[in-house]
Amino acid sequence: MADSLFSSLAAKAPGDYSSLVFRNCPFSSRLLTPKSFSLQLGGSKGKLNVLAPSQYSLVSIRRRVDPICALDSDVPHPLHKGSVNFKSTKNYEQWDSLTAKFSGGANIPFLLLQLPQIILNARNLLAGNKTALFAVPWLGMLTGLLGNLSLLSYFAKKREKEAVLVQTLGVVSIYVVLTQLAMAEAMPFPYFVATSVVIGAGLILNFLNYYGKLNAIIWQFWEDFITVGGLSILPQIMWSTFVPYIPSSILPGAISFVLALTAVTMARMGKLSEEGAKFVGAISGWTATLLFMWMAVSQMWTNFLNPDNIKGLSATSMLLAMIGNGLMIPRALFIRDLMWFTGSTWGTLFYGYGNIVSIYLFNNISREFFLATTMGLILWLGMTLWRDSVAYGYNSPLRSLKELVFGP
């Protein structure tokens, strides 16, 4: 990063040091240490001590970079920082590193969440008991798979390595389950082939894009594809949740498909305003997030209609879901990503903890288990807010939330 600083300064006119702000720096999000700047530039008349506080300095006591607004969530922000107190640089770097590790650690509970189903399916296949695999809803698994794939594209574009690994694990693990279902003929083979093509292409394109090896036009086409697909699936899933209380229909998905295709086409033809084009660009990430958020709503609706089904819920699985999502909250808050924060918090509170509450109310788990889970969740969320405020040099933990939602 230091090399890019000096080369850009060399290209500037004397006295013009605006490039020190690094508004669009393509490099790592780590702050430069003071030692990195301890030299002087220019001739004898125009020396610039980069450490000296001035209106041009990168580290002039405070610096500001806008957090990610709702419509800008899909835009890469390598320097995703709000106001950072220069004196708290060490705390900032430590929390940056820790939140990245927490996010990467979410792979463990998410893997444990899917692994029992994979092992059980394998045993049934080896035993010739293909009928048992029909109990696994392939359409629901496919929806989750497409959600993971959309979020993989979102995080690959933002260069969030740990989140990319989490979503890749989700794609691969669910695809393994779908492969098992196809082997048992529980999933129609033509759908499996089509899914395999999309998943294979999606993984290749995402990793090529992550490493900067993909043509921009091809990536744009892929983004348009997942935007139209996500926006078509979401309303249909939401509608289907309440059948038979509402009539079964494919109209929600069909109408959404037409609207999404029209919006994407208009955006590519330049027929939309800047805000409109920005909205279309943010759709894919938000629809993927809403798909996962709707899983909690669907489960709670099922619990409400059929309380006896709660006995079939695994408290351990819900705990793993809560932990996996909870581990990503600190990173989402740290980089001021409203979309990621919304999805992770919702998954933690409503899908994971919400179902644990339901299980407890029906006396299917012990009081000690419930209280320990509740206390652990409260402490984790409190620690997240406190450490984030310390990293940014804020006096109040609530300021981080305010900046996340409303900006600096």
Closest C-alpha to 138, from 201, 172, 189: 189
pLDDT for 298 equals: 77
pLDDT for 24 equals: 35
Run of H or E residues at 37: none
Identify the bridge partners of residue 68 per DSSP, sorted by sequence position: 337
pLDDT tens, position by position, 148-184: 888 898 888 888 888 899 899 989 998 999 999 999 9
Pair 303, 355: CB distance under 8 Å: yes
φ/ψ (deg, to 5) at 49: -85, 110
Pair 203, 222: CB distance under 8 Å: no
How many angstroms separate the CA atoms of 393 and 389, rounded? 6
Residue 72 confidence class, pLDDT cut points 50, 70, 90: low
DSSP structure string for 279-340: HHHHHHHHHHHHHHHHHHHHHHHHHHH-GGGGGGS-HHHHHHHHHHHHHHHHHHHHTTBHHH
Pair 151, 289: CB distance under 8 Å: yes
Residue identified by tokens 């009539």 is 247
Pair 103, 109: CB distance under 8 Å: no
Asked whether the predicted pLDDT for residue 4 surpasses 60, the reply is no
Please, which residues have CB within 8 angstroms of residue 334's CB and are 6 or more apart in sequence? 80, 95, 96, 99, 388, 391
pLDDT for 300 equals: 77
Tokens of 65: 């970079």
More confident residue, 27 or 213: 213
Which of these ranges, 221-225, 282-286, 373-377, has the smallest mean pLDDT?
Answer: 282-286
Indicate the pTM of the whole model: 0.71
pLDDT for 387 equals: 94
Please, which residues have CB within 8 angstroms of residue 97's CB and are 6 or more apart in sequence? none
Tell me the percentage of the chain whose pLDDT exceeds 90. 31
Asked whether the predicted pLDDT for residue 1 surpasses 50, the reply is no
Per domain, the residue ranges of the chain are: 84-214, 222-286, 306-407
pLDDT tens, position by position, 20-56: 333 333 333 334 444 444 444 444 444 444 444 433 3
Tokens of 292: 């996962």
DSSP secondary structure code for residue 136 in this structure: S
pLDDT for 388 equals: 94
Asked whether the predicted pLDDT for residue 144 surpasses 60, the reply is yes
φ/ψ (deg, to 5) at 211: -95, 10
Residue 197 confidence class, pLDDT cut points 50, 70, 90: very high
Identify the bridge partners of residue 337 per DSSP, sorted by sequence position: 68
Mean pLDDT for the chain? 78
pLDDT tens, position by position, 350-387: 889 998 998 898 888 899 999 999 999 999 999 999 99
Identify the bridge partners of residue 85 per DSSP, sorted by sequence position: 62
Residue 308 confidence class, pLDDT cut points 50, 70, 90: confident
Residue 279 confidence class, pLDDT cut points 50, 70, 90: confident
Which of these ranges, 119-128, 300-309, 362-371, has the smallest mean pLDDT?
Answer: 300-309
pLDDT for 88 equals: 55
First to last CA, the chain: 26
Pair 4, 22: CB distance under 8 Å: no
pLDDT tens, position by position, 244-261: 788 988 899 999 999 999
Asked whether the predicted pLDDT for residue 19 surpasses 70, the reply is no
Q: What is the largest CA-CA distance in the chain?
A: 84
Asked whether the predicted pLDDT for residue 394 surpasses 50, the reply is yes
Which of these ranges, 259-273, 299-313, 379-393, has the smallest mean pLDDT?
Answer: 299-313
Closest C-alpha to 373, from 309, 315, 307, 327: 315
Asked whether the predicted pLDDT for residue 303 surpasses 60, the reply is yes
Asked whether the predicted pLDDT for residue 17 surpasses 90, the reply is no
Run of H or E residues at 49: strand 48-49
Residues 132-169 as b or e (16 or more Cβ within 10 Å = b)? ebeebebeebbbbbbbbbbbbbbbbbbbbebbbbbbbb
pLDDT for 74 equals: 52
Tokens of 265: 């086409």
How many angstroms separate the CA atoms of 260 and 276, rounded? 13
Helix (DSSP H) and strand (DSSP E) numbers for the chain: 14, 4
